[in-house]
Amino acid sequence: MHSYLDLQCLITLFTLVSSTNYLRHDATINTVEEFLDTLINSSRYDRRIRPFFDQQKACNVTMTIHINTISAINEVNMDYNTDLIFRQSWYDPRLNYTGTDWATKSPQITLHYSLIDRIWVPDSFFRNAKEGKRSDITVPNRLIRIHRDGKVLYSQRLLLKLDCQMKLQKFPLDNQTCVVNIGSYGFATNDLAFFWEEAQNVSAIRVNEDLEMPDFVLSNHEARYCNRTTATGLLLFLCLSI
């Protein structure tokens, strides 16, 4: 019985070491296509598993939003349309290729949008969206970039119709505050945590300088946090007030 367990442990250890070193020391990888096929090969990378799952740590995802337009503000249906760039960043240690020749050749690699389905991405959703789609003009507006330290940038252009509960008692001399709720659909905070990406003197929320609306003026915007408790646990939502 003990001999079987010892042998099993040795085989498992050997497999882990071999799969880790395969990427770093295989001198036969000559093209970026071969390198990417090795990096995200399903035999060593399982997109169904979130980063840091084996370490029992939450994966931290930072976000920024660039608002291109706000239009079709409808007081009857209490909604509006927006065209925005939604960017998310996180670290995936399985995509870390520091120490390889490719870390010097290509410190970061921008993937074709068709490869997005081969890596893990957060299950982010807009809680108060009525309708939504990605822009596909002229190709799907999606970008994913892998840095050599395992940092991933995922950017997409979204066209959304969002709910906004308006207070119309002072109409037409009214001020409205619309909140955008963003969070994980299924992961609780101990698995996936969202944060606004705040840099020095740079806001996580950026608005097109040429933004014009026929009946309203965008006077302010604020990025904040708001928690929600659901049947799946405590979820951390990012809230944008405009």
DSSP 107-131: SEEEEPGGGGGGS----EEETTEEE
Check pLDDT > 80 for residue 234: no
Inter-residue contact 180 to 239 (CB < 8 Å): yes
Q: What is the pLDDT of residues 29-48, one digit of tens each?
A: 778 888 998 999 988 899 99
More confident residue, 92 or 18: 92
Q: What is the pLDDT of residues 77-135, one digit of tens each?
A: 999 999 999 999 999 999 999 988 889 999 999 999 999 999 999 999 999 999 999 99
Contact 39, 22 (CB under 8 A): no
Q: What is the pTM of this model?
A: 0.83
In a domain, 11, yes or no: no
Q: What is the structure's pLDDT at 23?
A: 55
Answer with the residue of higher pLDDT: 9 or 165.
165
Name every residue whose Cβ is closer than 8 Å to that of residue 151 and which is 6 or more positions away in sequence: 89, 90, 91
Calpha distance 181→220 (Å, rounded): 17
Residue 171 has pLDDT above 50, yes or no: yes
pLDDT for 157 beyond 60:
yes
Is 42 inside a domain boundary?
no
Domain count, the chain: 1
- Residue 67: domain span: 58-241
**Domain annotation covers residue 221:** yes
Q: What secondary structure letter does DSSP report for 46?
A: -
Average pLDDT of the residues of the chain:
83
Tell me how far apart the alpha carbons of residues 100 and 34 are, in angstroms, rounded to a whole number. 14
Secondary structure tally for the chain: helices H, strands E: 3, 12
Q: What CATH number is attached to the domain comprising 125?
A: 2.70.170.10
Residue 225 banded pLDDT, cuts 50, 70, 90: confident
| DSSP letter string, 67-86 | EEEEEEEETTTTEEEEEEEE
Residue 242 · residue 213 · CB < 8 Å: no
d(CA 80, CA 177): 12
Instruction: Give CA–CA dist 9/12, Å, rounded.
Output: 5
Structural domain contains residue 154: yes
The tokens for 27 are 């001198």
Residue 37 falls within a domain, yes or no?
no
Burial of 35 by CB count in 10 Å (0-12 exposed, 13-18 middle, 19+ buried)?
Answer: buried
Q: Note the Cα 140 to chain centre separation in Å.
A: 16
Residue 171 resides in a domain: yes
Q: Is residue 44 part of a domain?
A: no
Answer yes or no: is 35 within a domain.
Answer: no
* Dihedral over alpha carbons 46, 49, 52, 58 (to 10 degrees): 160
